[in-house]
Each structure stands twice: as C-alpha cells, then as structure tokens.
Chains A and B, each alone.
Chain A
Amino acid sequence: MIEAYFIHLAILVGIYLILALSLQLALGYTGLINLGHIAFFAIGAYTSALLTLNGVPFILAILLAGIVSAIFGFLLSIPTNKLKGDYLALATLAFTFVVYAVTLNWTSLTRGPLGLPGIPKPSILGLSFSSNLSFLILTIIIALAVYFIIKRIVYSPFGKVLEATRDNELATKVLGKNTFKIKFIALGTSAFFAGIAGSLYAHYITYIDPSSFTIMQLIPILCIVIIGGLASLKGTIIATIILILLPEPLRFIGFPSSIVGPMRQIIYALILLLILIYRPKGLFGMVELE
C-alpha cells in the first residue's frame, strides 16, 4: 500500500533530519569538521538497543542513548581541541573506525558481527508504538523538538559565540572567550542529538550490527549538510527531504535491487562533488565550507 511506503520514507527523513541537524550544529555553526558523526549515531543506537533488550523502558533508553553519546562527544573534544582543519577531520574519521572496531570485537557486549536482532519497538507509559504510523508520529514529535531546541541554541547569544569560534577562533579567544569550553559543549550537544537519532534508528529497523555504521553511512549525512548549506537549518530540512526521496524512483524503474543501493551512493557522491565545485555554499548556506 502506498501509504505504508510513504510512512516508511517519512520515518527515514525524520531520523536523518535529526542526525543532519546535529551535524549542522557542530559543522555549520561551530566549524568543527566532525567526520566521525556516525560514531555517535552508532553509540546511541547500541546503547538504546542494549538497554531495551535488557528491560529498560524506552523513554529512559533513548535519553541515556543521547547522554552516553554526549559523553563521548565531550571526551572526543578534549584531545582534538588543538587540531585544525584536515587533522581534525582525520582524527574524527579515525574515531568512527575505532568505534566500528569496538562494536565488532567487544563481542560479550555487542555480539560483534552477529549484531543485535529483535530490538523492541518503543513503548512509552504503556502506549506501544509498534505500528509504523505510530512510530512516524513519535519520530515527528522528536524531530520537531530537536529542531526547536537547536534553533534556540543557534539564535541565542551562545549561538553567536559558536559562529564566532567558527569564523575566527583566535579572535574569539583574544576577546576572552574560552573556545575550548565552547567547542566542548558544541560537540557534546551535537553528539547527544546524534545519539537520539541512533536510538530511533535502532528501534525502527529492529536490527543493528557494526556494518550499519560505517563511512558509507556518513556520505548521505555529509551531503545533506553541505548541499543544504552550512549554518542554515532550513537548508538542512530541505536537503534531507530531497536527498532521501530523490533516489527512490530508482526502485521502480525496474533496476534490480542490487543496483539501486550503489546508484544511490553515486547520486549522492555526484551531487556532493558538483556542489563543492560549483556552489560551495550549498542551496541555502550562509557560510562556505572552510
């Protein structure tokens, strides 16, 4: 049925939107080239899955997923504080690899490559969200909440400080601001929301394994943020919708399903390259990637 299909797409848009907005906070507004964002997604997903599989109620699990991810975000910001530009990008990317290696090898906790199947659908105060429609409503509520929270952060005085740090960290320091603390908070908050997205993802797909969180999954998110434009929440929303929906017709043109996957990636990669070359501000960006 068509509705079921669109509900599925809408849920994906919602989850990726939360993930993209959280990356936007770190990358677009604070200037942190965090290529390791998928690691926070993974940490949130695994935390939430493990907790609920052991009987912890969903509300607690999703919050803890965000908190645990945030803690890692805070931790990561410490040694990376002095790194700039490509070294920061590389270190955060390496962080993704390390998290992947941990989920793969800490088999007593994560079951390694066997993954975690049977993740329960969310249930809050007795209300079960097992149908896709109810899950969509849950996702929309959370996505809206995340959007408004991030919007408030970004338009607040603290948001201005974030952007100042992005534009000229030295000057910001000179003006007396503790840029380390600023980046610390930004990365931790960004990780918090990524963890929330991870939890939603785990409870929707009901199965996760280490291969769900690799550099492959980074590409769509990175594309969304860059194509939508840095420091533009509106751009992120529109880019998420476009990028998630755009490859879908491929499914119906009759390509075998083994082609659809790589074709999606090619489309994303091509658009990313074109935007980087011809329109680095993206669709609605305020700043150029630097």
Chain B
Amino acid sequence: MSSIAFQLLINGLIAGAIYALVASGFSLIYSTNKFIHFAHGAVIAFSAYVLYFLFSVLGINFGFSVVLAIAFASLLGYGIDIAVYRQLRKKKTSSVILLIASVGLLILLESLILILFGADVKTIGFIKVSKGIEFLGAIITPLQIFIIITSILLIVGLFLFMKKTKLGKAMRAVSDNKDVAEIVGISSEKIYSWSFIIGSAIAGIAAILIGLEQNLEPTMGTNLIIKGFAAAIIGGIGSVHGAVLGAFLLGIVENFGIWYLPSGYKDAIAFVLLFIFLLFRPQGILGIKRRAEK
C-alpha cells in the first residue's frame, strides 16, 4: 500500500476511534432505553469544558481533573435522566417526544457553555505539539495512538461487561424485552439509570481525548453527536458493536473521500450516508430489523 494511502488509513482510524468513543456510549444508552439521546453530545462538550476549567483555569493536577471530569459526565447524564427523561417516561410518552426533549437539552446545555465560557476556542494545553512518530511510512502522534488504543480497550471492555457481568446481562435483558425483564425481577428504572451513568462516563472519556486532540469550542457537542449518531445508524444502532463498526467505517470513508473531493465535503459525506441509510436501511449494516417500519 502506498504511504499516502496508509496515512489516509491511519487518519481514518483516528477519526473512527473518536467517533467510536462517541457512538459507543450513545448506543449503549439507545439500546437500553430505546430512544435517541442527542444530549449525549452536550454531555461530552460540558465534560471537556469542565476538564478545561479544572486543569487549565484552576490549575488542578491533570490526573485529578480527568477523574473529576469523567465523574461529572456520569453525574450529568444521570441527572438528565432523572430530571427530564424519567418524568417523561412516567407519562408513557413515545420515543419521539424523548428525542425532541433530548434535542432541547442539547441546545440548552450548549447555550449554557456559551454563556459560561464564551465562544473562543479553548486549548487544554497539556500536551505540546510534537512531531509524530513514523510508523510504516505514516505519521501518528502519541496522543493519537493513545486514542485508538483507548477506544479499542473501551469497546472490548464494554463487550465483556455486557456479556459477563450481572449488570451487563440485565441491561441486555431490558434491551431485548423490557416487560419480560421486569417479570424476572429486574427494575427497568434502575437499569435505565445505570445505562446513563456508564454511557455518560464513556462520554467523559471521549471528552478528555477529543478535547486534547481537537481543542474545545461550544458547538463541539452538536458536531460530535451528529457524527456519532450517523456512525451508529450506518453500523447498526441496536448494538454497541454496530455503532463501533459504523464509526470506523465512517472515519475511513471520510478521510479517503476528501483526498479526492474538496475538504468542505467531509461532513457532507457523513450526512448523505446517514440520510441514505435512514431511508433505505435504517437498521444499518449489522442491525436487526426493528420496528422501523410499521
């Protein structure tokens, strides 16, 4: 493979890893709760800003700040579930209303970030730019290697969690059939909460890595969740591994695509793919046909 193609592949894997970090938490929440939690993007954005605030503004030790930021993410996700989604669930509202509510939350939180932190791009400034490491003819920085490894570990970890742990199995039970799960004694409300706690913690991890690699700006949440959501749809939204597959595919297709097209087309590639899949194959590449059609 030529070194350019290999570099593009590496770039695609880096982008894919970032999308996978977003999409995995998002799709964990979706598969358990069965609605689109757009505000996931805002959880990521807010946590990144919290890290910025703790580390770059207050000067708190980086390791501490990271842990606090992830904890914040979890708490925020959990809080959103209790304050908004649970109230709506009590009234047995449809997933469309939950979707609209999540869009409202996304806008709300992003506007809050704008007010609190302003519109300027913020840098976390923990890592100084350095020359990348050469690897089989392509260049990749240590941070980027770390991102790819972390996302792989996370995915493997999630997989093991869902398969082996009691909580994971309970989540799968609720995801497959909530009513039967309740009969067996699983409290769906508790499982919903756990999905938000864990999914948002993953969002927190995503926030740290993305913040370091791409810097922070108030609309980062919207951009990330649209890509993450596209990745999940393309790969198959019912499952976490579908989302991850879609994420890496999207990253690679985007990067190869704009080698040939002007770079403004990058998002267009994602949007068009998303649109086409939603219309013609909403269950994605891996997905099982859900009640997408009625």
Contact = CB atoms under 8 A, between A and B. Distances in A.
Taking the complex as a whole, does A directly touch B, i.e. does some CB pair lie under 8 Å apart?
A: yes
Contacts of B105: 269, 273
Given A79-B280, A94-B274, A98-B271, A84 B104 contact: no
A14 B233 CA distance: 38
A105 B95 contact: no
A105 B265 contact: yes
Contact of B279 (A79, A104, A226, A289): A79
A157 B174 CA distance: 44
Nearest to A218: B103
Contact of A216 (B107, B226, B282): B107
Interface string A128-143: 0000000000000000
A277 interface: yes
B-side binding surface: helix, strand, loop or mixed? helix
A86 interface: yes
Interface string B1-38: 00000000000000000000000000000000001100
A127 to B, nearest CB: 40
B155 to A, nearest CB: 24
B267 A101 contact: yes
Interface residues of B, number: 46
Interface in A100-147: 100-102, 104-105, 112-113
Contacts of B119: 258
Nearest to B226: A97
Contact of A85 (B96, B222, B264, B267): B96
Interface string B266-294: 01100110110011101000000001111
B88 A277 contact: yes
Given A258-B119, A290-B94, A105 B268 contact: yes
Contacts of A266: 107-108, 111-112, 115
A262 B271 contact: no
Contacts of A280: 91, 93, 97
A84 B294 CA distance: 7
What range describes how many residues of A lie at the interface?
35 or more
A218 B104 CA distance: 10
Contacts of A90: 36, 99, 233, 278
Contacts of A101: 265, 267-268, 271-272
Contact of A215 (B91, B103, B267): B103
A212 interface: no
Interface centre among A94, A266, A273 (most CB of B within 10 A): A94
B103 A263 contact: no
B214 interface: no
Interface string A247-264: 000000000001101110
Given A82-B293, A276-B100, A289-B100, A97 B271 contact: yes
Given A101-B265, A266-B115, A272-B100, 5 more contacts: A86-B96, A91-B282, A101-B272, A269-B105, A276-B101
10 contacts: A85-B294, A86-B35, A86-B96, A87-B292, A97-B271, A263-B111, A268-B107, A269-B105, A276-B100, A276-B101
